[in-house]
């Protein structure tokens, strides 16, 4: 008869008798703690440790492979929620749209920016320290009864984001795709600030133009059939020209340029250990450039040196 001292138990369940050892750590494990391995069985902790040491699959551009375009869905959701907020409260558009410099009197009447009159009126926009407008304006759209497009503004933008965004996200990975989107939106707002600082703009078009530029760059890098891609980009550029008289072409062009630059860094960075560093450096450098341009332009507006 086996002595009581010779009885072995599971290391996680001391009351459960066990005669099987983990092939990795050599501890006794019960049937509930056993996990099939290439040879024998492993305990729960060793299986988790092994999973952490397995190299994660990556896309061609260095991002983690994901089958569900979560970021695209979230971005569309945020745009729709912002639009509903506009419908419920009209002041949301004035408060959060992209505006470099403007004036408003005590009755809420808006005027074009003039530094000489800033003391007589209340300044609004980036000149009043409302830096958030650089991004919040990219999540707002025209109200149903406003402008040339009305509700078609958000419908067209979200349709484009749904179609192009899912493809680009699957190629870049979630983190790189989100950085691309935000820098494209920021690039569009900064170009609006530099060229038309007193123009109030809204819309996700700048960010979507950046995502579209990424679609083109990644297709070339992957050696895809460029026929349909070139037709898509031709239509995009035609829309850029048409929009010069309808919407903020500055925002579209700024997003396109920023998105193209970021994706070029993603696509052509060396495919070794330096890749992530090079990609991150370009993104940080672009952000720093946009920040410096913004500060310089706002300072010039405040002093009237424009």
The per-residue pLDDT string of the chain (306 residues; one tens digit each, 9 = 90 and over) reads 444 457 888 888 888 888 888 888 878 888 888 888 777 788 888 888 776 665 566 777 887 877 889 999 999 999 999 999 999 998 898 899 999 998 888 877 888 888 888 778 888 999 999 999 999 999 998 888 775 667 888 888 898 899 899 999 999 999 999 999 999 999 999 999 999 999 999 989 899 999 999 999 998 888 877 888 888 888 877 876 776 566 788 999 999 999 999 999 999 988 888 889 999 999 999 999 999 999 999 999 988 766
Kindly state whether residue 60 falls inside one of the protein's structural domains.
no
Are 27 and 75 found together in one domain? no
Alpha-carbon distances of 288 from 93, 190, 299, rounded to whole Å: 27, 12, 16
Kindly state whether residue 12 falls inside one of the protein's structural domains.
yes
| Sheet of strand 122-124: strand arrangement | 110-112, 102-104, 122-124
d(C-alpha 53, C-alpha 143), whole Å: 51
Are 17 and 146 found together in one domain? no
Reduced to 3 states (helix: H, G, I; strand: E, B; else coil), residue 200 is coil
Question: What is the domain extent for residue 139?
Answer: 70-303
Are 103 and 28 found together in one domain? no
d(C-alpha 210, C-alpha 208), whole Å: 5
Are 208 and 296 found together in one domain? yes
Are 137 and 179 found together in one domain? yes
Kindly state whether residue 62 falls inside one of the protein's structural domains.
no
Are 290 and 180 found together in one domain? yes
d(C-alpha 124, C-alpha 96), whole Å: 11
Domain count across the chain: 2
Predicted TM-score of the model (pTM): 0.80
Are 38 and 133 found together in one domain? no
d(C-alpha 93, C-alpha 141), whole Å: 8
CB atoms within 10 A of CB 31: 10
CB atoms within 10 A of CB 146: 15
CA 225 to chain centre: 26
d(C-alpha 53, C-alpha 134), whole Å: 41
Are 187 and 292 found together in one domain? yes
d(C-alpha 99, C-alpha 298), whole Å: 11
């Amino acid at each position: 008869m086996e002595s009581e001292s010779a009885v072995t138990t599971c290391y996680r369940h001391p009351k459960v008798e066990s005669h099987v050892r983990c092939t990795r750590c050599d501890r006794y494990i019960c049937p509930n703690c056993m996990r099939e391995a290439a040879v024998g069985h492993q305990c729960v902790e060793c299986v988790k440790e092994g999973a952490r040491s397995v190299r994660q699959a990556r896309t061609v551009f260095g991002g983690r492979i994901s089958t569900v375009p979560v970021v695209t869905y979230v971005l569309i959701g945020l745009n729709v929620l912002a639009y509903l907020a506009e419908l419920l409260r009209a002041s949301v558009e004035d408060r959060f749209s992209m505006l470099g410099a403007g004036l408003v009197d005590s009755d809420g009447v808006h005027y074009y920016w003039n530094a000489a009159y800033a003391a007589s009126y209340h300044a609004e926009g980036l000149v009043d320290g409302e830096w958030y407008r650089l991004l919040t304006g990219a999540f707002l759209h025209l109200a149903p009864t406003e402008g040339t497009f009305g509700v078609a503004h958000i419908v067209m933008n979200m349709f484009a984001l749904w179609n192009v965004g899912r493809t680009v996200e699957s190629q870049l990975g979630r983190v790189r795709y989100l950085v691309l989107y935000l820098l494209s939106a920021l690039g569009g707002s900064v170009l609006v600030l530099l060229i038309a600082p007193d123009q109030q703009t809204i819309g996700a078009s700048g960010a979507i133009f950046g995502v579209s530029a990424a679609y083109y760059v990644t297709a070339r890098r992957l050696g895809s059939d460029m026929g349909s891609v070139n037709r898509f980009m031709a239509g995009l550029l035609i829309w850029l020209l048409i929009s010069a008289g309808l919407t903020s072409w500055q925002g579209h062009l700024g997003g396109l340029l920023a998105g193209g630059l970021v994706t070029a860094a993603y696509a052509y960075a060396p495919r070794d250990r330096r890749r992530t560093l090079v990609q991150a450096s370009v993104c940080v450098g672009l952000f720093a450039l946009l920040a410096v341009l913004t500060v310089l332009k706002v300072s010039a507006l405040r002093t009237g040196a424009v």
